[in-house]
Amino acid sequence: MNIRDPIFSDIYVDDIARNILEDPHMQRLRYVKQLAFAYLVYPGANHTRFEHSLGTYHVASTIMRNIGDGVDSEVPYVGLLHDIGHAAFSHLSHFALEHYLGKTHEIVGEEIIKSSEIKDIISDSTLSFKRFLSYFRGFGKGQIVTGALGSDRIDYLSRDSYYTGVAYGALDANRLIGKITLSRGAPALYRQGVSGAESLLIARYLMFSSVYYHHTVVIAGAMYGKALSAAIEAGAIVPRMLPFYNDGQVISMLSAEKASAGLTERIMNRRLFKRVYDGPISKEFQTAELVDALGAAGLKSSDYIAEKLDFRIRDYELPIVGAGGGPIGRLTGISPLIANLAKAMNATRRLVVACDSSNLAKARPVVSRFLKSGQG
């Protein structure tokens, strides 16, 4: 079966993938936005985790075929299922999974797979469920999906760029895909693919600065986080059920709960908090200390947001191999551009503080004194 896709044209879906896609847990992803509230800034950003999962599957399948390891490979299905544990509004709900359940979305995803018909679909095929789980956890060939140049990253940068209309995320995906191989059971890159890796890292940095960390996106996301926490604390949402709700269901529950209704209504009508500060901070900056200072000035937690952002990346390293597959170095050793950009990104830290316009006069002097004191 072929599925038409605006990024990769036709995506071929085999019988195993089709059966997985029909599972209700996968169908839920049709109603989970890939970029949460980014549509408030970029109206086209209404694409979903379902589309992204298909694209990640397609890229992983293509890579495995290119390296001659695509027969009976579990890797493409890891790509298809890698986001099944995402709660509503994707990354914005991670804190709730971790704080209330003590789990990452990857662990939640594995639990869903094990307890659903998806396990039977994989086990009843020619695939090994044991190998699938190993790859799903990111070991060995699983890095074809989750690694520095994984199919997950290749798809989301291409797809997010397309739907936001921001050219920064555009990269030559087909050329990069064609230069990925395996070395000692893990992903490696042919020397000719270094320029593609450079373009991906540059695209990632620019997409973070212009889309993912756009101040309006950050403010809306932080307001949602406060609303979600309030609803959970009020008993309106049971944390263990979060991975089974879609965006619309969560918004409905937040709107119905008094503790979260006000913030939710503001988000949905784009009446967001206004910026108090948006700029660099030091490595030593502690958000908790600023929160205490704002509280002492009379601001309640629901009156403002204070988000510390960092651009740190830890997974940009990759073996580089020659035409014959022999190792010739590491990515940062061969590409000074990647080494320097990674260093610069890891040193970048930013603070966004925002509140209701009625509280700006209270918040501004507090934040200003706090930053001037050297604490920021």
pLDDT digit string (tens) for the chain, length 376 residues: 899 999 999 999 999 999 999 999 999 999 999 999 999 999 999 999 999 999 999 999 999 999 886 655 999 999 999 999 999 999 999 999 999 999 999 999 999 999 999 999 999 999 999 999 999 999 999 999 999 889 999 999 999 999 999 876 667 788 899 999 988 888 999 999 998 888 888 888 889 889 999 999 999 999 999 999 999 999 999 999 999 999 999 999 999 999 999 999 999 999 999 999 999 888 778 888 899 999 999 999 999 999 999 877 766 778 899 888 888 888 888 888 888 888 888 778 899 999 999 999 999 999 988 887 655 5
Given a contact cutoff of 8 angstroms between Cβ atoms, the answer to whether 142 and 63 are in contact is no
Residues 149 and 268 in one domain: no
Please choose, from the candidates 221, 202, 106, 215, the residue with its C-alpha nearest in 3D space to the C-alpha of residue 161: 202
Residues 7 and 156 in one domain: yes
Given a contact cutoff of 8 angstroms between Cβ atoms, the answer to whether 332 and 201 are in contact is no
CB neighbours of 84 closer than 8 A, spacing ≥ 6? 25, 26, 29, 53, 109, 112, 113, 118
What pLDDT, on the 0 to 100 scale, is given for residue 374? 56
Structure tokens at 179: 């230069």
What pLDDT, on the 0 to 100 scale, is given for residue 318? 85
Domain end among 170, 203, 236: 203
Q: How many domains does the chain have?
A: 2
Per-residue burial over 60-70, b = 16 or more CB atoms within 10 Å of its CB, e = otherwise: bbbbbeebeee
Structure tokens at 299: 């601001």
Residues 181 and 248 in one domain: no
Residues 12 and 147 in one domain: yes
Cα distance between residue 138 and residue 78, in whole Å: 9
DSSP 188: E
Domain end among 151, 173, 203: 203
Please choose, from the candidates 237, 214, 218, the residue with its C-alpha nearest in 3D space to the C-alpha of residue 227: 237
Residues 152 and 239 in one domain: no
Pairing of strands 9-12, 2-5: antiparallel
Q: For residue 12, what are the β-bridge partners?
A: 2
Give the domain extent around 243. Answer: 215-310+349-375
Q: Is 323 part of any domain?
A: no
Residues 195 and 264 in one domain: no
What pLDDT, on the 0 to 100 scale, is given for residue 312? 72
Sign of CA dihedral 346, 318, 132, 18: positive
